[in-house]
Structure 1
Amino acid sequence: MAATRSTDDLPAPPPTLKERFLAWWEGIDVQRRHNDAGEEPTAPGEDASPSNAKHLNRKGKPLWTATRIEVVEKIWGPGFSSPGGDEFIPTIVKPLGLNPAMSVLDIGAGLGGATRAMAKQYGTWVTGLDGNPVLAEAGMFRSQKSGLARQAPILSTDMENFTWGKRVDAIFSKETFYTVRNKDKLIDSIEAILKPRGQLLFTDYVIDPGHARGRDFDGWIHAEPSEPSPWTVEQYAAALAQRNLDIRITEDNTDTHRALILNAIQELVKHLETVAMDHDTKLAVVEEVEMWARRVAALSSGLRYYRFYALKPGDLS
């Protein structure tokens, strides 16, 4: 009878991408770091109280810091925290037919790059809203610095209990709805604040029910900074139709989104070869790259990236 192998005899799991990156930059013994590493302490002054927890990641650390903001702008461009910079926004928002007479809400505006791009290119009055107060404050600072504090302000909001006091001509959102647990409530609020013949245009990560969800999908679900709650295309279609919103575009943009991510990471790697960074910045870079690498992997393992466009009917009177 073969002897049972002790768990002490098993090899340590291989270092993660983050650990390999840090070893490359710092010239350390990556396996020793891997074996000796413990949990990082919670950031000073942060707690996991219910009122604060939604702004912390799964490790109890702030979702957004000045260092992370610096890193994402280096990857995606000034004012952006995700793929699709100034040159790409006109392609995304083209169906809206933006003009100076229109009022727009940008839900999940982040640092406000898309908000300001719409205001500058089309003269539209756009209000950016984000669920994270750190991002919203940084976004508002950038709008003020650009002279767009009135035309493209960035404000903080509660995504799970979203409301807005004025009716608007259009609502835009970029990769945000998948982070909201109560999407029915969010869509109810969106329908209520759209004017007759108002427009809704959003991009989002969705579940592909026709594709078996593999290990990469599970890894994405469990490792995202905040727990994602993605819907299927069919769920969105049903929810919009239930609120009498006429769906005009349901478009799979996964390949384009994936290419934007991979191209940006390649450019980042080139940039890293020319600069020196402190440890905290290196760690933030690695964590960001690791997060986007997981997303790219999930996009081939049951996750897709879609653009939706819907119209609200005019008044019946």
Structure 2
Amino acid sequence: MDDNMSLDGTMAAEAIRVPFRKRLRARWEGYNDPAEYYLFEQQLNDYRRWLQRMLVLANRPAEEEAGELDLDDEVGRWPPERLKLYGKLFDRGIMKPGGHEYALELAKPLALDETMSCIEIGARIGGTARVLADKFGVWVTALEQDGELALLGMERSVAAGAQKKVPVQQYDPLAPEFRKKYFNVVYSFGELFTVNKKDAFLLKLTESLREQGQLLITDYVVTGKANESSENYRRWMANEDEKPHPWTADRYKEILGKLRFDIRIAKDETELHVHQIKTAWMTLVNELQTSGLDPDFIAFLEDDMEMWMSRVKMLENGELAYYRFYATHD
């Protein structure tokens, strides 16, 4: 018998298990206790339907554990189901809030064309790079530190016939190797906060630019309200895929100035970014409510939503901000 069951077969009140989608909704609405949200918002038939789904999942055959001879076939952090989740969230391979439209909006000051070469830092599977190459004819070297994502991205570039125009490659942020004085543009959308020793890294990026080169960065920055001992801060750090090493906006301005960049835009876009994240997740949750929950999402949906909601909490309480920097080099 289940430890949470009473002798008459009913669930103990203190052990109410909230349906998966309702747990997501409760977390989104700020309820610390999902059961509280359930008791206010849900009917008993919702609970029974959830139990039926869980019984189906519980009866699925258990997968065999990987043995010594098949470790190379073990799925990594980015199996097809997790990529599918991000495809639904953030627009066909972009894997970042705002999707294609926001990427194109950010690129407007760059005046990209087919004569220009770019380098993208934190390209994920190269979705943004392929959008820019397709729209403007620009050449983009897309760099991603996660080797699994880089491989998947290169496979997609090959499938699109863009392997020469948009190669996706793995790189080491602590030992970057960039071609000197080669690129017209370096850009990164929301990824540099995971790079340690950014001073040296940005110097290397600067050395890769040609004369009158351009730099475009959006990134998470900590504010004066940030408290490393706060629960929100600790949860944010723990939930990220890669350990954050965030700067302040002022630190970015200081270092870019020392590297002889003329900063044209330094804009706090936190409100827009939070809206993009929330809209993406609410759209997905609503879709799941109408079409049903794909069991293959379960292993990834909750953890990824926890990560993004930790970011949102940090952004909304002012400990974290999302900035856009656009600068030209002399």
Of 151-160 and 271-280, more deviation after overlay is shown by 271-280
- CA-to-partner distance for each residue in 1:109-159, whole Å, 9 max, x for gaps? 111111011111111111111001111111112222222221112111112
**1:216 is aligned to 2:235:** no
Of 146-155 and 300-309, more deviation after overlay is shown by 146-155
Give ranges in structure 2 of 5+ residues lacking alignment: 1-13, 26-33, 35-45, 53-64, 69-74
Give the RMSD, CA atoms, in angstroms.
2.9
Which residue, 251, 262, 265 being the options, matches 1:235? 251
| 1:20 alignment partner in structure 2 | 23
Which residue, 247, 254, 258 being the options, matches 2:270? 254
Higher relative CO (CA 8 A, sep ≥ 6), structure 1 or 2?
Answer: 1
- Secondary structure, counterpart of 1:158 in structure 2: coil
Shift of 1:273: 2.4
Letter in 2 for 1:94: K
Q: State TM-score, norm by structure 1.
A: 0.78
Q: Distance in 2 between matches of 1:204 and 1:308?
A: 8
**1:119 is aligned to 2:133:** yes
| 1:176 alignment partner in structure 2 | 191
| 2:261 alignment partner in structure 1 | 245
Shift of 1:177: 0.7
| 1:303 alignment partner in structure 2 | 320
Q: Distance in 1 between matches of 2:224 and 2:21?
A: 31
**1:202 is aligned to 2:201:** no
Q: Distance in 2 between matches of 1:278 and 1:260?
A: 23
Q: Distance in 2 between matches of 1:160 and 1:84?
A: 29
- CA-to-partner distance for each residue in 1:58-97, whole Å, 9 max, x for gaps? xxx9443332212111111111222121122111111111
Q: Go from structure 1 to structure 2 and tell me whether the alpha carbon gap of 1:21 and 1:304 turns closer, same or farther (over 3 Å shift).
A: closer
| 1:57 alignment partner in structure 2 | none
Structure (1/2) with the larger helix percentage: 2
8 Å CA contact 1:111–1:136 kept in 2: the answer is yes
| 1:36 alignment partner in structure 2 | none
Give matches, 1:1-317, under 5 Å.
Answer: 20-21=23-24, 27=50, 44=66, 62-166=76-180, 167-210=182-225, 214-276=230-292, 279-301=295-317, 302-313=319-330
Percent identity, please: 33
Of 66-75 and 111-120, more deviation after overlay is shown by 66-75
Shift of 1:212: 6.0
- Secondary structure, counterpart of 1:305 in structure 2: strand
Q: Distance in 1 between matches of 2:283 and 2:153?
A: 24
- CA-to-partner distance for each residue in 1:245-280, whole Å, 9 max, x for gaps? 221111101111111111111110122124455544
Q: Distance in 2 between matches of 1:262 and 1:100?
A: 35
Q: Distance in 2 between matches of 1:280 and 1:88?
A: 29
